[in-house]
Amino acid sequence: MERKPFRILAIAGSLRQGSFNQGLLRAAKEVAPEWVEVQFFDIGQLPFFNEDVEAAGDPEPVRRFKDAIATSNAVLIATPEYNGVVPGVLANALDWASRPTGRSVLRNKPVALMGAVLGQSGSANAQAALRGVLGRIGAIVVPDPQVLVPRASRLFNENVDLHDERTREEIRQLVEAVAHWCRRVQPEEPVGTQSVTAP
Ligand SMILES: Cc1cc2nc3c(=O)[nH]c(=O)nc-3n(C[C@H](O)[C@H](O)[C@H](O)COP(=O)(O)O)c2cc1C
């Protein structure tokens, strides 16, 4: 029987055009094995989380976001840190995805983290904070390898393509780790959000 592709939903914690973190995600798609599909979701299209808006029904971009998570085998987040924490745009996306509490599409969803910053931390603080948030939501954060990219500007060319072979190899190992790890802990195919809300 033919093996279904393993689907990874890629999310960047930076919206800017020349984002190094978006560059990390493009590199992940390039280095992924041929049986792994990497799809991007632009969290910039999500509105600010507001419980009143939520009570009236999830807006269309939020529904698409939740469905994209639900139908993916795993999520890959690449994020900078802003002032030592998770950028607001990513925190906002996770707020939407965390709902309804206890029945989030991220529950039991494997999530892999990486991040690039201009400073020395390599995004370690943001990743540590994310582990806490994702753990609270009930996602399963893949323990390793850690991909921390400090002083990111030296590793990308003018098209924001990652040219550093060592970092590309780290990303390849992370993608393989999440895929192999998932196949062990989550042998079944993911299903859409309907199954999450079905009685
Ligand atoms: C609001 C703000 C806060 C930042 N805080 C940090 C920080 O705490 N540590 C750091 O290394 N870089 C910090 N930076 C610089 C980012 O590392 C840099 O802008 C990086 O390129 C952002 O990722 P991107 O290329 O994916 O947009 C900050 C940038 C902004 C805009």
pLDDT digits 0-9 by tens, 19-52: 999 999 999 999 999 999 999 999 999 999 999 9
Q: Whose CA is nearest to atom 8 of ligand 1?
A: 83
Tell which one of 19, 85, 117 to mutate to probe ligand 1, the residue whose CB is within 8 A of the most ligand atoms: 117
Write 50-56 long-range contacts (CB < 8 A, 24+).
54/96, 54/99
Structure tokens at 60: 């269309």
Nearest 10 degrees: Cα torsion 139, 144, 145, 149: 60
Instruction: Please report the atom of ligand 1 found closest to the CA of residue 84.
Output: 8
The answer, yes or no, to whether any atom of ligand 1 lies below 6 A from the CB of 185, is no
What are the backbone angles phi and psi of residue 48, rounded to the nearest 5°? -60, 140
Q: Is the CB of 16 under 6 A from ligand 1?
A: yes
- What band does 100 get if pLDDT is binned at 50, 70 and 90? very high
- How many angstroms separate the CA atoms of 22 and 46, rounded? 17
- Across all residues in the chain, what is the average pLDDT? 93
Task: Answer yes or no: CATH 3.40.1350.10 is held by domain 6-197.
Answer: no
pLDDT of residue 3: 66
What residue type is 185 in one-letter code?
Answer: V
pLDDT at 197: 34
For ligand 1, say whether the CB of 32 is within 6 Å of any of its atoms.
no
pTM surpassing 0.85?
yes
Q: Does residue 79's CB lie within 6 angstroms of at least one atom of ligand 1?
A: no
* Residue 83 near ligand 1, beta carbon < 6 Å: yes
User: How much is the pLDDT for 194?
Assistant: 44
Output the residue whose Cα is nearest ligand 1's atom 27.
19
Domain spans of the chain, in order of start = 6-197
Degrees (nearest 5) of the Cα angle 160, 173, 169?
Answer: 45
**Would the CB of 25 count as within 6 Å of ligand 1?**
no
Which atom, in ligand 1's list, is nearest to the CA of 153? 21
Is 14's C-beta closer than 6 angstroms to any atom of ligand 1?
Answer: yes
| Direct distance between the N- and C-terminal alpha carbons of the chain, in angstroms, rounded to an integer | 32
Mean pLDDT confidence for 193-199: 39
Judged by DSSP in three states, 33 sits in: coil
